[in-house]
Chains A and B, each alone.
Chain A
């Protein structure tokens, strides 16, 4: 025991945390060498805008994953938010209030999942899986399976305009990442969140209101998801009932590639952003290569698996 061990502990953790990012950055470098178009300003701009949606989903997902849970409903909540905001705006509601209302509704859905988990003892997987279906149902009900087209200039500005040459969605994703990083690292909520993820019992004993910590994580996740849906609807100029199912997959992948453990207690916003950008870059680069999107899914699946294996395999081998 003693000094030698503690040094070793420090080093090992660092590597595992960044393994996914290292792997991903490597992949990106290889891809950009293979196709220089990747690095062009236009392409990077596209890349950023496309990835921004996933970044928003992933940031919310990060909070829930740090608590040791998972949120399978982020995709369909995003879809629901998209059609709702489109619907409200086409019915004449001012853009600002429409967005506020949709975020509020999203928060409510998140609170519902959170209450199920915290007070109902329902496993996060199940609670959010059910919410996923419920939100999907709401989406189809609300739209009668038809898309809602939006032409309101103010609304479309969010997803399509640029400030100082930088597309707004990119600004949004960077700003929110910074804010979340701050909250997680520097506020009492963030500290409590990591403590709970690391050891729920010890956190409770230390006087932390663990129920509230977890509940808030699900609420924030749903709010981020709703925001993602709003930005996406703006970009596409349509609230589409096709959006939603499946999006949670990339969000989880981003969080995991960014080094967070699904057991909870680790992970941060900036790494999650990087994780989402890596996924986005790979999709983007493979597009430039002309690879079909279905094959891209296979590639991303393997990369995510690789990122997790780098962390889990050494632990498993040590146990033997």
Chain B
């Protein structure tokens, strides 16, 4: 298991500690990183910002050993290092993910030294087979104290709050000698009040000489805690700036692509008089949605923008019958409805396409045909027996309408590419004759080439008197096809824009 390898004893603060030199990485069809060079100083908090697709996650994956760069070097404290596996990366860098990676049924101390049980004993206990619990617990306590906290390391992780668990993960990094800690959207799962606690921990890390790379979409946080900011755009580094010498608006301008104003082809405003769907004061039992109200007109494509945790995906899931509703009204085509299950919502004419197609959308082991008719089994059967010719003709029609690329309708769904899988799901909803389509992340996992076609399908669908709601983290996508865009934050709708003169940086500003 990983270990503390000091690369030299020259640790002056403000010295370039981690250097990425001309890192490039490409995937079929896309250059994810293009000669990116970043240098990070020892003991600084270095912010990394960029839109979706800018290359942030690819960069992080290279740093943590999940990917290998096509070209370029990684240098730590003057020496080039080769990261071939995640274990290699862990000699230097430790990543704190959005999801916790702790074992709930073990104690704090046990989690901190997981896989490194003999570490607390030092050299003399290096090959010991028996764990020295006393030393383990004492060492664990020491690390927690270093971060400015004090609690019982013998507590089970499952009994800790979200913020405390995050602290344990950070402490683990420190305990096994991590010199660089990368935090990816660390506040996504934290309640507002704990964010300041996190910042305190980061300041303590700085005091201990640890370097922090902070990745976030929340620009406000970046400005609160980082020393310098690196902006990525379209796989290239735009620049590295002292946080104190730049402001939010400037960063947004640097992050954003070309102005898409010219490219938009739709009429900006849709008559709000043919209302298809009305949502009034909707609150979900788990409180993810708080009193939201909006309406959707016929022929309209309504976008929902928001950061992680904003609730943008919950809107669709609630309308689809996947979330329990606490209070509020939903009126579809003049009729009050209460989505209590997917079967109910489908019956009412609501079509939902989840963001994770493979997990919740398609049955990958079944044929294309069977996937298309999965939600309309009653429609294609008589007395419980499936009418094969009827099924066949419905499927053929729908599959043609979406321009699905396939060799046989009987082939397995897992043989399809991402874009075709989405098309298959759209075909399913066409067969079901839904009056509303709701997409969560419509082009996630769809390569750039296929995206335009999906947008065309969506536009065509809306043109037939239907309504579409799209929740997406891709702002340019929303700007391309939506008539209006709602911005959500912390379960509420903060603003609704008409998409006539809206620009990407204005939208980003609203989100930050």
- Chain A contact residues, CB within 8 Å of chain B: 1-3, 5-7, 9-10, 13, 186-189, 191-192, 194-195, 198-199, 201-209, 265-266
Specify the chain B residue showing the minimal Cβ separation from A199. Answer: B363
- Please determine whether A202 and B363 come into contact, CB atoms closer than 8 angstroms: yes
- Please determine whether B377 and A205 come into contact, CB atoms closer than 8 angstroms: no
Q: List 20 A-B contacts (CB under 8 A).
A: A5-B415, A6-B406, A6-B412, A7-B407, A10-B411, A188-B377, A188-B378, A188-B386, A194-B370, A195-B363, A195-B366, A201-B360, A202-B361, A202-B362, A202-B363, A205-B322, A205-B342, A207-B342, A208-B343, A265-B363
Tell me the complex Cα distance, A248–B346, Å.
Answer: 40
Which single member of B354, B375, B381 contacts A187 (CB below 8 Å)? B381
Specify the chain B residue showing the minimal Cβ separation from A190. Answer: B386
Specify the chain B residue showing the minimal Cβ separation from A265. Answer: B365
Shortest Cβ-Cβ A-B pairs, 10 listed:
A6-B415, A207-B343, A198-B363, A206-B375, A206-B374, A207-B346, A199-B363, A188-B377, A198-B365, A9-B415
B384 within 8 A of A: yes
Distance of B261 from chain A, by nearest CB (Å): 35
Task: Give chain A's interface secondary structure class.
Answer: helix
- Please determine whether A9 and B414 come into contact, CB atoms closer than 8 angstroms: yes
Known interface pairs A194-B366, A198-B366. Does A205 touch B411 (Cβ–Cβ under 8 Å)? no
- Please determine whether A209 and B343 come into contact, CB atoms closer than 8 angstroms: yes
Specify the chain A residue showing the minimal Cβ separation from B378. Answer: A188
Known interface pairs A3-B407, A205-B320, A208-B343. Does A189 touch B364 (Cβ–Cβ under 8 Å)? no
B residues less than 8 Å from A13 (CB atoms):
412
Name B371-392 residues within 8 Å CB distance of A.
374-375, 377-378, 381, 384-386, 388
B444 within 8 A of A: no
Tell me the complex Cα distance, A207–B374, Å.
Answer: 8
Specify the chain A residue showing the minimal Cβ separation from B366. Answer: A198
Distance of A144 from chain B, by nearest CB (Å): 44
Specify the chain A residue showing the minimal Cβ separation from B413. Answer: A198
Q: A6-B406, A186-B385, A206-B346 are in contact. List 5 more A-B contacts (CB 8 A).
A: A188-B381, A189-B384, A198-B366, A201-B359, A203-B363
B residues less than 8 Å from A191 (CB atoms):
370, 374, 377, 386
B residues less than 8 Å from A208 (CB atoms):
343, 374-375, 377
B352 within 8 A of A: yes
Name B399-451 residues within 8 Å CB distance of A.
406-407, 411-412, 414-417, 428
A residues less than 8 Å from B341 (CB atoms):
207
Which single member of B347, B374, B406, B407 contacts A203 (CB below 8 Å)? B374
Which single member of B352, B378, B407, B417 contacts A205 (CB below 8 Å)? B352
* B side interface size, CB within 8 A: 37
A-B contact count (CB 8 A): 92
Tell me the complex Cα distance, A9–B381, Å.
Answer: 30
Interface readout for B337-359 with A: 1 if CB under 8 Å, 0 if not? 00001110111000010100001
Distance of A194 from chain B, by nearest CB (Å): 7
Specify the chain B residue showing the minimal Cβ separation from A6. Answer: B415
B residues less than 8 Å from A198 (CB atoms):
363-366
Distance of A256 from chain B, by nearest CB (Å): 17
A residues less than 8 Å from B375 (CB atoms):
206-208
Tell me the complex Cα distance, A10–B375, Å.
Answer: 25
Specify the chain B residue showing the minimal Cβ separation from A10. Answer: B411
A residues less than 8 Å from B378 (CB atoms):
188
Specify the chain A residue showing the minimal Cβ separation from B362. Answer: A202
- Please determine whether A205 and B365 come into contact, CB atoms closer than 8 angstroms: no
- Please determine whether A199 and B352 come into contact, CB atoms closer than 8 angstroms: no
Specify the chain B residue showing the minimal Cβ separation from A7. Answer: B407
Tell me the complex Cα distance, A98–B178, Å.
Answer: 73
Tell me the complex Cα distance, A6–B415, Å.
Answer: 5
A residues less than 8 Å from B415 (CB atoms):
5-6, 9-10
Distance of A45 from chain B, by nearest CB (Å): 34
- Please determine whether A6 and B363 come into contact, CB atoms closer than 8 angstroms: no
- Please determine whether B370 and A195 come into contact, CB atoms closer than 8 angstroms: yes
B residues less than 8 Å from A3 (CB atoms):
407
Distance of A186 from chain B, by nearest CB (Å): 6
Specify the chain A residue showing the minimal Cβ separation from B432. Answer: A207
Which single member of A1, A192, A265, A266 contacts B377 (CB below 8 Å)? A192
- Please determine whether B385 and A187 come into contact, CB atoms closer than 8 angstroms: yes
- Please determine whether A1 and B417 come into contact, CB atoms closer than 8 angstroms: yes
B residues less than 8 Å from A186 (CB atoms):
385-386, 388
Known interface pairs A3-B407, A188-B378. Does A207 touch B347 (Cβ–Cβ under 8 Å)? yes
A residues less than 8 Å from B374 (CB atoms):
191, 195, 202-203, 206, 208
B residues less than 8 Å from A201 (CB atoms):
359-360
B residues less than 8 Å from A207 (CB atoms):
341-343, 345-347, 375
B residues less than 8 Å from A192 (CB atoms):
377
- Please determine whether B364 and A199 come into contact, CB atoms closer than 8 angstroms: yes
Tell me the complex Cα distance, A5–B405, Å.
Answer: 14
Name B226-271 residues within 8 Å CB distance of A.
none
